[in-house]
Amino acid sequence: MATKAVLADLTQAYQNQTGVQVQIESVGGVDAAKRVQAGEAFDIVLLASDAIDRLIASGHAVAGSRQDWVRSPVAVAVQYAPRTFAEGKKIRWTDGVRALWVIARERVRRTPPAAAAATAPNPGGTP
């Protein structure tokens, strides 16, 4: 799972900053939901909203505890046949992990568009 390395980096940064030890277990959503339904205890479970809603409806998650963390309006399946290094491949899987880290970091840093527009200088000088 591509997010595993990003979670490890974020966990390490949090632990370094706060001194609080954190343990993250990264598993697929179907497996996570099955484990919760089987009664396994978790402090936090990140799943798709419909999966969380089903856990709440069945009494396996606390009603009112759901928090939306990410919004993804589109999911696209893409078939991919990578080139070999002999064919000119220039990037490695680690480059993808680095890209995910940068995306996650910048999403946290980014100012919401409405706030950015309200504070942007007016180049024409008129309101």
| Single-letter amino acid, residue 2 | A
High-pLDDT (> 70) share of the chain, %: 82
d(CA 45, CA 49): 11
| Per-chain mean pLDDT for the chain | 80
- Identify whether the C-beta of residue 23 lies closer than 8 Å to the C-beta of residue 15: no
pLDDT over threshold 70, residue 6 = yes
d(CA 63, CA 19): 31
For the chain, the domain total comes to 1
Give domain status of residue 34, yes or no: yes
Q: Can you read off the two tokens belonging to residue 85? A: 């290094």
Give domain status of residue 116, yes or no: no
pLDDT over threshold 80, residue 111 = no
Give domain status of residue 119, yes or no: no
Quickly tell me which residue has 């078939």 as its tokens. 79
Confidence of residue 113 (pLDDT cuts 50, 70, 90): low
d(CA 72, CA 10): 21
pLDDT over threshold 60, residue 93 = yes
pLDDT tens digits, 24-60: 888 888 999 999 999 998 888 888 889 999 999 999 9
Range of the domain at 59: 3-111
Confidence of residue 126 (pLDDT cuts 50, 70, 90): low
Sign of CA dihedral 11, 12, 14, 18: positive
